[in-house]
Amino acid sequence: MNPDADRIIRLCQRHARAWAQDRGNRLMERAWLDRFRALLRPGAAVLDIGCGSGEPIARYLTQQGCHLTGVDSSPELIALCTTSFPHLAWHVADMRTLSLARRFDGLLAWDSFFHLCPDDQRRMFAVFRQHAAPRAALMFTSGPAHGEAIGSYRGEPLYHASLDAAEYRALLCANGFDVVAHVVEDPDCGGHTVWLAQLT
């Protein structure tokens, strides 16, 4: 494993409040979140994997009637979630070993899953499947192509990795998901590469 990948959790813990402030409340993801919600029943249960501070995605989804549960590996970020949204369910957990013993109508891993190394990403698809109710929607962001990239946050290395598109499609298919939409570096969403899939 790249050592920078192993440092992500501690980086988020050290810089939780700065991370939340830098993320802010600008909802560039609205169009994708609406496509995600269109696959859900009213009042759907949604699991936000790598939820950060809960802003702005958790706020938007709950305003639209979703019943949200959030998971993050940073106790500091989950504490911010609990303060802002005390009525929602929040869990401190590593997504790689997540086991909540329940299934959700929607699974979201926005700007979180791509901080895992490639092998951990491959193993995550079984975790997604384990938590997916019948016809569940799954949406996640990835890199635009296979490889690793090291950015920087507050002067520390910030790890990202991606599989190639064919492997993501194969992993989704092997775990029972059909691709509904996929856009590489969406110019209308800050250059995010987005996958939207649904359990068959």
Confidence (pLDDT) at 159: 79
Beta strands in the chain (DSSP E): 45-49, 67-72, 89-92, 104-109, 132-142, 147-153, 156-162, 177-186, 192-199
Question: What is the tens place of the pLDDT at every residue in 22-79?
Answer: 676 788 999 999 999 999 999 999 999 999 899 999 999 999 999 999 999 889 899 9
Domain ranges of the chain: 3-23+30-194
- Confidence tier at 106 by pLDDT (50, 70, 90): very high
The architecture (CATH level 2) of 3-23+30-194 comes to 3-Layer(aba) Sandwich (3.40)
| Residue of 70, 62, 196, 66 lying closest to 142 (CA atoms) | 196
Sole residue written with tokens 């019943």 = 67
Confidence (pLDDT) at 186: 97
